């Protein structure tokens, strides 16, 4: 089953600095991938890894832009 969702973008100054992951998605030919869905699977801090719901106020999904960049 496929379900459409609408994501609202936020400016970088609205993102919590201590919980933000920035990245880029590339294909096998090293080209940026627009529209890639990126999700949070787990979080490692120091030597501790946790899985499950992220911190309150954190995004759990992001979609890469035309440059393949995302913020989560």
pLDDT higher than threshold 80 for residue 5: no
- Rounded Cα–Cα distance for residues 45 and 70 (Å): 21
pLDDT higher than threshold 70 for residue 46: yes
pLDDT higher than threshold 90 for residue 31: yes
pLDDT higher than threshold 90 for residue 10: no
Residue whose C-alpha is closest to residue 54's, from 21, 14, 31, 30: 21
**Which carries the bigger pLDDT value, residue 64 or residue 1?**
64
**Which carries the bigger pLDDT value, residue 54 or residue 3?**
54
Residue 71 tokens read as 């913020």
């Amino acid at each position: 089953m496929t379900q459409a969702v609408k994501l609202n973008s936020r400016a970088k100054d609205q993102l919590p600095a201590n919980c933000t992951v920035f990245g880029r998605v590339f294909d096998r030919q090293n080209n940026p991938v627009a529209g890639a869905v990126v999700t949070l699977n787990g979080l490692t801090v120091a030597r501790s890894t946790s899985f499950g719901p992220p911190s309150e106020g954190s995004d759990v999904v992001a979609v890469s832009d035309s440059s393949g960049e995302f913020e989560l």
